[in-house]
Chain A
Amino acid sequence: MTVATEELRERVRQAITNQKRPTVTVLSSLLAAQDALGYIPDEAIDEVAAYTEASINEVWGVASFYKNFRFAPAGEHTVEICWGPSCHLVGATAIIERTLEHVGLEEEGETDDGRLTVRFNTCLGACAQAPVISIDHLLRGRMTPERAVTLIDNIPDNDSH
């Protein structure tokens, strides 16, 4: 437990001390920590507070405000489905329904086997190819419910995250 904690701390420290952009803030440090770990554990809050000379309160305030921060590990792969209006008008709901049913979820979240995180996104930025989903950050447009589940079933298993 303590070894794991110390290792987490070390990874956070690495991530936040190696930020390449000149302006380092609570937010930039939290983003760097989440990029490295995939989520914000309590240890990251501590480390960011220490590094940026902010209070734990301030750091939590920022982390809980922005909706991209998560506080538990994500699944091995992340599927995001856009529910923005451009996608909504051309069939996003059917894709959400089919995907959730296929992976056995009721709403956003992680599958029981830890393989997938499903997240809804307000706009993936490729609205001209609506409906849009993304799989591990790669955008996929002109989507249909069937293609979505096929793509999800065919995500290659890899060792990295």
Chain B
Amino acid sequence: MNAGERPWIRIGTELNGQAAGAVEVVEGFLSELDKRGVEANVDEVGTLGLSYAEPLVDVLVPGNSRLLFSRVTPEDVPTIIDEYIVGGRVPKSLAFASLGDDPIGVVPDLNTMPQYSLQRRIAMRNAGHIAPGDILQYVANDGYAALAKALFEMEPSGVIDEMKASNLRGRGGAGFPAGLKWSFMVNSPGPVKYIACNCEEGDPGAFNDKAILESDPHTLIEGMILAGYATGATNGYVFVRHGHDGPIDRAEQAINDAYAENLLGKNILGSDFSFDIEVALTGDSYVAGEETGMMEAIEGKRSMPRFKPPFPAAAGLWMKPTTINNVKTFSYAPQIVLNGGEWFSNIGVNNSTGTAIACLTGNVTYPGIYEVEMGMTMGQVIEEIGGGVPNGKQMKLLQTGGPLGGVIGLDSLDLHIDFDEMQQAGAMFGSGGIIVGDEDASVVDLIRVLVTFCQYESCGKCFPCRLGMTQLLDQIERIARFEGVPGDMDACERVGTTMKIGSLCAHGQLGFNPISSALQHFREEFEIHITERRDPTGRTSTKFYYPKSTRPYAEDFAQAQPLKVNI
């Protein structure tokens, strides 16, 4: 990487950087540099994963290693410019770490900090290093080399073979083998076939898909083009929720730049292969992330899941053959094609190859986005990388796999990040969210929030989920308000079983998971709520806030008899 002879200032502005104040820091640098007449290149970049250190400013003064400044405020900007960039002195109080061959003595070397050294970055290898808006920086880092290799040295079937050999499993939740999924569409009839990238990412607590779009969108675009070549597809969609302007703008700019370089469009790089990609937006709907719900949304309808079969590879978008993968899944493809499937299959553990991109949040010292090798234990991620629970408190629970996943106890710290091991233990890795709760966290109250989410997001197409979630929410709210009665938990279980058996999509099928997992690990807390009418964590408030439309007619119900569904 070389940005000429001027200092190169990189500032992380993806959503987590923005929320920490990075936008003001960028403005600060631009105006203070201008005021002083100091020449420097300023790039907005994505994230190194160290969200706790944002706003993170990374300064490369030619001839030196990179010097990183953490939690920078606009007030710090003049000091960084005057002391370091102009004066050549390291302002010790502000400097966070150095990165490069020649560590800057007085500050720690980032490569010795577990938040960075324990990462193994493949899908996010460029994130935080290159400017997502500059296609040349991507190209300078092996970008589109996999595409050129595929187009000119490999048959489409060869690409599928490498994907199969990699044993890459889908990262959108279910862990279905990606190479196998791609192979399903090869023989589906054309001429129009679709590749759809799922970046709905409605899971609260997961933000790695958006982070990839904002940090290195070309990796995703290249992965999608490879999928198109391998499967004989003609068109691609990047599916994102409206309102997340950063990820949307980055994706659109990357697509435009790829067209300008003939990496998209007709006869890509002079080959016989043509492929188009566009962005499609959805409104607020969690179920729009379910693959058939997504297809309905792209077609502009309500995102209500479809019955399967037909499966998408036979009849998907507009009833044409379609292959759907998550952002992360596509983003591994370029490195797999470039380095070979076997290389990838040697990373990770058992039947879970490659890396996991964990989003660590909640009561944890170093929240962030950490790409680690599969097989690391949850405990390592939380304690060694995340620094454990802050303020001298004890850890109590983990919430993994998104709102349809589980709430699990401390015994799960020994679990390895491995699709199969986690599933057997009743936990899910899902799309990567790990939310940590400390000793003060009320399990019942957290479950109430998760159940509210699942009820709020039920699309209403099938009754076991629509009525079941509403019944579960009523019951959990009563318990959380200390109005539960013995037998409530059994009633929940009956409803939950019906949902599992009778729901059309995984939203309803898994909608009981939060409660069932919590009962497995924290049953006592529910019982204390019911029998002693108190919360053992000391929570007393029984006023709950969430969107009005959770149950638009809740007031009418409240005046009538409590809803009784006897299933």
Partner-B contacts on A (CB < 8 A): 21-23, 25-31, 52, 58, 61-62, 65-69, 82-90, 93, 96-97, 100, 107-109, 119-120, 122-130, 132, 137-142
- What are the 5 closest A-B residue pairs judged by CB atoms, nearest first? A25-B300, A66-B283, A84-B204, A141-B19, A128-B51
- Say yes or no: A84 contacts B359, CB within 8 Å: no
Q: Would you give the 0/1 interface string for B285-326, flagging 1 where the beta carbon is closer than 8 Å to chain A?
A: 110000000000111111100000000000000000000000
In contact, B207 and A89 (Cβ under 8 angstroms):
no
B284 and A28 contacting across the interface, CB-CB below 8 Å: no
Residues in A with CB closer than 8 Å to B205 are 84-86, 123, 127
Which of A21, A93, A109, A142 is close to B545, meaning CB atoms less than 8 Å apart? A93
Tell me, rounded to whole Å, the shortest Cβ–Cβ distance linking B51 to chain A.
3
Assess whether B18 is in contact with A21, with CB atoms less than 8 Å apart.
no
A86 to B205, CA, bound (A): 6
Segment from B184-192, B220-228, B360-368 that makes contact with A: B360-368
Chain A residue, CB-CB nearest to B203: A123
B residues less than 8 Å from A68 (CB atoms): 242-243, 283-284
Q: Within 8 Å CB of A96, what residues of B? A: 545
Q: Which of A22, A65, A66, A132 contacts B278 (CB 8 A)?
A: A22
What distance in Å separates the Cβ of B540 from its nearest Cβ neighbour in chain A? 12
Is there an interface contact between B545 and A61, defined as CB atoms closer than 8 Å? no
B48 within 8 A of A: no
| Interface 1/0 per residue, B416-437 and A, CB below 8 Å | 0000000000000000010111
B283 touches A129 (CB 8 A): no
Contact status B453-A84, CB under 8 Å: yes
Chain B nearest CB from A63 CB (Å) reads 9
| Number of residues on chain B facing chain A (CB within 8 A) | 69
Which B residues are in CB contact (< 8 Å) with A52? Answer: 300
Chain A residues in 8 Å Cβ range of B340: none
Q: What is the chain A residue whose CB lies nearest that of B434? A: A86
Check B37 for interface membership: any CB of A closer than 8 A. Answer: no
The complex places the Cα of A144 from the Cα of B281 at a distance, in Å, of 32
In the assembled complex, B2 has its CB within 8 A of some CB on chain A: no
Given A23-B280, A27-B281, A29-B300, 5 more A-B residue pairs with CB atoms under 8 Å apart are A22-B278, A27-B283, A28-B281, A31-B281, A129-B367
CB distance from A75 to the nearest CB of B (A): 15
Counting chain A CB atoms within 10 Å of each CB, the highest count among B244, B297, B456 belongs to: B297
Partner of B207, one of A28, A85, A120, A125: A125
Tally A-B pairs: CB < 8 A.
177
* Binary per-residue interface labels of chain B (446-467) against chain A in the complex, 1 for a CB within 8 Å, 0 otherwise: 1001100100110100000000
Q: Which of A22, A85, A125 is within 8 Å of B449, CB to CB?
A: A85
Instruction: Closest A residue to B51 by CB, please name it.
Output: A128
Say yes or no for B548: interface residue by CB 8 A criterion.
Answer: yes
| Cβ-defined contact, A27 with B243, below 8 A | no
Partner among B300, B369, B456 whose Cβ is within 8 Å of the Cβ of A27: B300
Residue B219 at the chain A interface, CB threshold 8 Å: no
Shortest C-beta distance, B440 to chain A (Å), equals 9
B20 touching A129, Cβ below 8 Å:
yes
Whole-angstrom CA separation of A82 from B207 in the bound complex: 14
Partner of B18, one of A28, A122, A138: A138
Give the distance to chain A from B448, nearest Cβ to Cβ, in Å.
Answer: 9
Contact A31 B449 (CB under 8 A): no
Q: A89 to B435, Cβ gap below 8 A?
A: yes
Say whether, besides A27-B282, A66-B283, A123-B205, A129 and B19 are in contact (CB < 8 Å).
Answer: yes
B269 CB-CB contact with A under 8 Å: no
Q: Is B52 an interface residue (CB 8 A)?
A: yes
A128 touches B449 (CB 8 A): no
B residues in contact with A83, CB < 8 Å: 449, 545-546
Inter-chain contact A65/B449, CB cutoff 8 Å: no
Do A126 and B207 contact each other (CB < 8 Å), given the known contacts A68-B243, A90-B362, A138-B18?
A: yes
- Interfacial chain A residues near B203, Cβ < 8 Å: 123
Q: Given A27-B297, A89-B437, A123-B202, are A141 and B302 also a contact pair (CB < 8 Å)? A: no
Q: Looking at the assembled complex, report how far the CB atom of B278 sits from the nearest CB atom of chain A, in whole angstroms.
A: 5
**For B367, what are the chain A residues with a Cβ–Cβ distance below 8 Å?**
127-130
**Are A129 and B54 interface neighbours, CB within 8 A?**
yes
B403 at the interface (CB under 8 A from A): yes
Interface pair A26/B301, CB less than 8 Å apart: yes
B245 at interface (Cβ–Cβ under 8 A)? yes
Question: A76 CA to B549 CA in the complex, in Å?
Answer: 22
Is there a chain A Cβ closer than 8 Å to B566's Cβ?
A: no
Q: Are B242 and A86 in contact (CB under 8 A)?
A: no
* Interchain CB contact under 8 A, A108 and B548: yes
Contact (A126, B285) CB under 8 Å given A25-B300, A138-B23? no
* CB neighbours of B363 from chain A (8 A): 89-90
Residues of A within 8 A of B449 (CB): 83-85, 88
B118 within 8 A of partner (CB): no
| CA of A130 to CA of B207, assembled, Å | 12
Nearest Cβ distance between residue A91 and chain B, in whole angstroms?
A: 10
In angstroms, how far is the closest chain B Cβ from the Cβ of A31? Answer: 5
Docked-complex contact A129 and B302, CB < 8 angstroms: no
Residues of chain B within 8 A of A124, CB atoms compared: 15, 19
